[in-house]
Amino acid sequence: MEFVPITFQVAGDLATWRVEIPGLVVGHAEALSGPTTPPGKRVQTINPPGSEVGPGQVATWGRSVEVSTKGFGLDWTGTARSSKHIPFDWTGPN
C-alpha cells in the first residue's frame, strides 16, 4: 500500500472532470451533450439503478479525452472511453 496525493477537479457546470495521481494515473473526461439535451445541460441519469454510491444520486455521462495508467502492472494510454461522474461523500456517519 502507498499513500500518494490525489488531485480531483470537476467544473462547476459539470462540463469536465479530471483526476491525477502523479506518475501513476491521469484521467480527464468531457460531459456528453446532444441534440435532445437542453442548452447548458448535460446527459444525466437521475437515481441510476445499482449506483456505486447508493440511491438518489445523479450520474453525469461523458467520454475520456485523456487516460493513462502506469503502475499496478499496467502501462496503458487511450481516449474515447466512457466515463461518468457521480458525486459522493466519504465522510460516513459520525
Number of domains in the chain: 1
Question: Considering the domain boundaries, does residue 16 fall inside one?
Answer: yes
Structural domain harbouring 39: 7-85
Question: Considering the domain boundaries, does residue 24 fall inside one?
Answer: yes
The residue whose grid cell reads 472511453 is 81
Question: Considering the domain boundaries, does residue 90 fall inside one?
Answer: no
Question: Considering the domain boundaries, does residue 1 fall inside one?
Answer: no
Pairing of strands 74-78, 58-71: antiparallel
What is the pTM assigned to this prediction?
A: 0.78
What's the pLDDT tens digit per position in 37-57?
888 889 988 888 887 887 888
CB atoms within 10 A of CB 59: 19
Question: Considering the domain boundaries, does residue 93 fall inside one?
Answer: no
Q: In the prediction, which pLDDT does 65 show?
A: 93
Pairing of strands 25-31, 44-46: unpaired
Question: Considering the domain boundaries, does residue 91 fall inside one?
Answer: no
Task: Give percent of the chain with pLDDT exceeding 90.
Answer: 39
